Amino acid sequence: MTMVDEQTLRHALKTSADEFETSHDALTRILDEARAEEPEKTSRSVSSLMPQSRRARVLSLSVAALILASAVALFALSRTFRFE
């Protein structure tokens, strides 16, 4: 395996790229093809964020309910016991 200096390789690639001629028609076809293959833009929804299995959904909703209940309880306790 031969080691090639990065600067030498960069110069060789630039020289060969500058010598390569492309027609306007080729550039137009390439750009048209690239535009035709653009992926469809999909909208993200809440349903895509939820797990697909029933058990995972139930567990996720249970954890969310537990967190909400804990937050409400902590808020109620903080209002009951005022530390001044």
Residue 69 falls within a domain, yes or no?
A: yes
Does residue 19 sit within a domain? no
Q: How many CB atoms lie within 10 A of CB 60?
A: 13
Give pLDDT < 50 ranges for the chain: none
Write the pLDDT tens digit of every residue in 48-66: 666 678 888 889 899 999 9
Give the model's pLDDT for residue 50.
62
Q: Give the global pTM.
A: 0.37
CB of 51 closer than 8 Å to CB of 57: yes
71 assigned to some structural domain: yes
**CA–CA gap between residue 36 and residue 74 (Å, rounded):** 55
Q: Which amino acid is at 83?
A: F
> What pLDDT sits at residue 71?
93
Domains of the chain: total: 1
The residue range of the domain holding 59 is 53-80
pLDDT for position 41: 66
Max intra-chain CA distance, the chain: 81
